Amino acid sequence: MHAFLDAPAVARTLAPDEPVILNRPHAAARAARFFATKFPGKSLYAVKANPSPDLVQILWDNGITHYDVASITEVRMVRGVLPDATLCFMHPVKTASAIREAYFQHGVRTFSLDTLEEVEKIVEATTDAEGNTATDLRLCVRLRVSSEYSELSLASKFGIDVADAGELLQATRQVADWLGVCFHVGSQAMTPFAYVQALERARAAIAAAGVVIDMVDVGGGFPSSYPGMEPPPLEDYFAIIHRHFEALPIAYNAELWCEPGRALSAEYNSLIVKVEKRRGDELYINDGAYGALYDAAHVAWRFPVKAIGRIDKNGDGERSSELKEFSFYGPTCDDADFMEGPFLLPADIKAGDWIEVGMLGAYGAAMRTAFNGFGGGEVVLAQDEPMASLYTGRKDPRVSDNVVSLR
């Protein structure tokens, strides 16, 4: 994989006609070390955020030993890259064949669930050919909690209501060697109070069930920094989570877990796109709703953008200092391939120019498809800093406030 100083160096050297993904291993390594050393418990990387084998290896090399996998394909991939990693199958609804393969072939012992039917399925799938039931299951009951303090809700699909959790916790305790509760406050939680509220719901469920709890998993939701969505320091989240965890009615040696996805991967990738056409304040670019910019189209996420200086034989050309709001159309024939923005870029931007789109490591590269024949392009290494970071102690001066909060 070729290494470049930054996005302008990529544009000068490659003059790419297709999107180029820029990987920043140093940024992912820094995020991993931060969670591994500062979170007061175990950090599981949520692989769905970015299932790159290279990224998984970087996180392992920098202290992340546990991985939240949500499908048998993720189980196989992570186990193939990391033979010694601890894999936790945290999707609450799994096929029996996936559970069986994960348990018997890949050494998975930790499974999430939110129904009695799933408990029965897990027990049956982990019973061996001689009829011996598993005695080493580590089961996590997922509770439904509020997503009101997060930019993207995860409160509807999974999780049992706290009022109904007692019976499930008691039944799961009967077959589990080790019992946990878990929840997810939603993606991009903008205040630590999101976890306070969720932990209070966990407290109520545990107290009502009267069972011994060996682990509390506060899930994901840890934010990244986007212009217009600047969260408090992650240390604030860690401190308040730890304080409320310590007050729960749980086993004296109970473990505290979390499942960061975005916070570990967002700074890993950015994307170079080419402007193919300008129509007023609309730019036609070569990535979009069916590619790495899925979130920009489908959930109106605003990513930081930066115009790359005009490339000529003498280097970077001059560009207007006046900024203008633009929206984007992606390369497919679908009208839904549209990103409203606004994205602030130089007023004189035109066809043939390139744009760097930052903070795409989470749910960016992972969402690319080949719809309509698009989705190709190179992957290269970049040595500069990401457009924004929670781990460097500074904001990137290159980036203006070109992201509007969703709330």
Domains of the chain: 3-22+267-382 (2.40.37.10), 26-265 (3.20.20.10)
| Long-range contact pairs involving 294-298 (C-beta distance under 8 Å, separation at least 24) | 294/363, 294/364, 294/367, 295/363, 295/364, 295/367, 296/328, 296/339, 296/341, 297/330, 297/336, 297/337, 297/338, 297/339
Predicted local confidence at residue 401, as pLDDT: 42
Q: Rounded distance, CA 41 to CA 199, Å?
A: 15
Smallest Cα–Cα separation from 90: which of 98, 134, 155, 264?
Answer: 98
Of 127, 364, 349, 164, whose CA–CA distance to 269 is shortest? 364
**8: its two tokens:** 């302008």
Q: Is 145 helix (H, G, I), strand (E, B) or coil?
A: coil
Query: In the chain, how many H helices and how many E strands?
Result: 11, 21
Could you give the angle at which helices 53-61 and 25-38 cross, rounded to 10 degrees?
50
Q: How far apart are CA 188 and CA 26, in angstroms?
A: 22
CB atoms within 10 A of CB 344: 21
pLDDT at 149: 78
Handedness of CA 352, 356, 357, 362 (dihedral sign): positive
pLDDT number for residue 232: 93
**pTM summary value:** 0.92
User: 141 with 160: CB under 8 angstroms?
Assistant: yes
Distance, CA of 30 to CA of 26 (rounded, Å): 6
38 touches 67 (CB < 8 A): no
Residue 208: what pLDDT? 94
Residue type, 127: T
- 199: tokens are 């932990």
User: Residue 316: beta bridge partners?
Assistant: 311
Cis preceding linkage at 249, omega within 30: no
CA distance 269 to 289: 17
Residue with tokens 């392009």: 377
Name residues of the chain where pLDDT drops below 70.
310-318, 393-407
What pLDDT does residue 310 have?
65
Please state, in angstroms and rounded to a whole number, the distance separating the CA atoms of residues 137 and 398.
50
